[in-house]
Amino acid sequence: MAKEMGSNISRAASLFEIEEYFNEDYFHFGDVVNPPEISGRQAGVIWNLLSLKQGSSVLELGCGYGRITNRLAEKGARVTGLDISPILLSKAEADAVERGVNVEYVLGDMRSLPWQDRFDAAFLWYTTFGYFDDEDNEKVLREAAFSLGKGGRLLIGHANRFAFLRYKSPIYVVQRNDDLRIDIMSNDVLNDRRNLERIIVRDGCVRRTHLSFRQYGFSEFVRMLRSAGFETVEAYGEEAEALTSDSSQLVVVARK
């Protein structure tokens, strides 16, 4: 028999775990996991779903090393990226310089944003939402809403838990030259969280990190986003197609 559900706080990812996870090793394998052509296609999907145009002001929360942020800037958006990892932000800034685009990068916590009514759109991509307990996850949505002007749009790319449970192997191996990244996944069915143990074998060293994120369904997103101040909420698959149980991603688009 399953035990009574405990506090989500003890199972949520800590800031230390998040910072430790999103490190130089994460960047090292980035283009293997998400090759440039995939990143370009994803940037196009985000551009279209957020109804962006030349000069639109856009905020990416959890922007990482800027693989989407800088591509949106190349398309003509005025982009700001926020992340908690100084290592990845420095990579994003270097990439922006190389691409010749001007992006504002900010070191910060997505649960406490310094902007109000500033942006036309905001987004969290590639399972960037859900690290915290339910209370703090909902705080992220409220902070995002505060940062958006009237009519602003918020997009969230989130793992589709139905596809995860049906098709995903519990072990993923990524190789770059002689370096290995081994991800061991498990599901916490009592708390609707997915746990990831990452083993890095690189430069003769072995390093381990851990990350956990909450898995939400669309109906839960509707409740949370309407509570945060959004009026409409829509669901799509990763390529902006209709969402099905086989879709690898649940893409949520909400409008104030």
pLDDT tens-digit map of 84-125: 999 999 999 999 999 999 999 999 999 999 999 999 999 999
Looking up tokens 């399972």, which residue turns up?
Answer: 127
| 146, part of any domain | yes
pLDDT band at 233 (very low <50, low <70, confident <90, very high): very high
Residue 8, pLDDT above cutoff 70? no
Token representation of residue 120: 């036309």
Residue 164, pLDDT above cutoff 80? no
Residue 183, pLDDT above cutoff 50? yes
The tally of CA atoms less than 13 A away on the side-chain side of residue 174 is: 18
- Whether 161 and 245 have beta carbons less than 8 Å apart is answered as no
| 183, part of any domain | no
What pLDDT does 54 receive?
A: 97
Looking up tokens 């990244």, which residue turns up?
Answer: 181
State how many domains the chain has. Answer: 1
Mean per-residue pLDDT over the chain, rounded: 93
Distance CA 46, CA 52 (A): 8
What pLDDT does 166 receive?
A: 74
Summarised one tens digit per residue, pLDDT across range 22-44 is: 999 999 999 999 999 999 999 99
Residue 81, pLDDT above cutoff 80? yes
pTM, full prediction: 0.93
pLDDT band at 168 (very low <50, low <70, confident <90, very high): low
Bridge-based pairing of strands 148-159 and 119-124 is parallel
| 78, part of any domain | yes
- Whether 255 and 230 have beta carbons less than 8 Å apart is answered as yes
Task: Give me the CATH number covering residue 148.
Answer: 3.40.50.150
Residue 1, pLDDT above cutoff 60? no
Distance CA 183, CA 115 (A): 36
Residue 6, pLDDT above cutoff 60? no
% of residues, the chain, pLDDT over 90? 89
What pLDDT does 189 receive?
A: 87
Domain that holds residue 89: 8-160+216-255
Distance CA 111, CA 92 (A): 21
For residues 121-146, give the mean pLDDT: 97
| 167, part of any domain | no
% of residues, the chain, pLDDT over 70? 95
| 168, part of any domain | no
Distance CA 80, CA 71 (A): 12
| 188, part of any domain | no
| 172, part of any domain | no
| 111, part of any domain | yes
What pLDDT does 169 receive?
A: 74
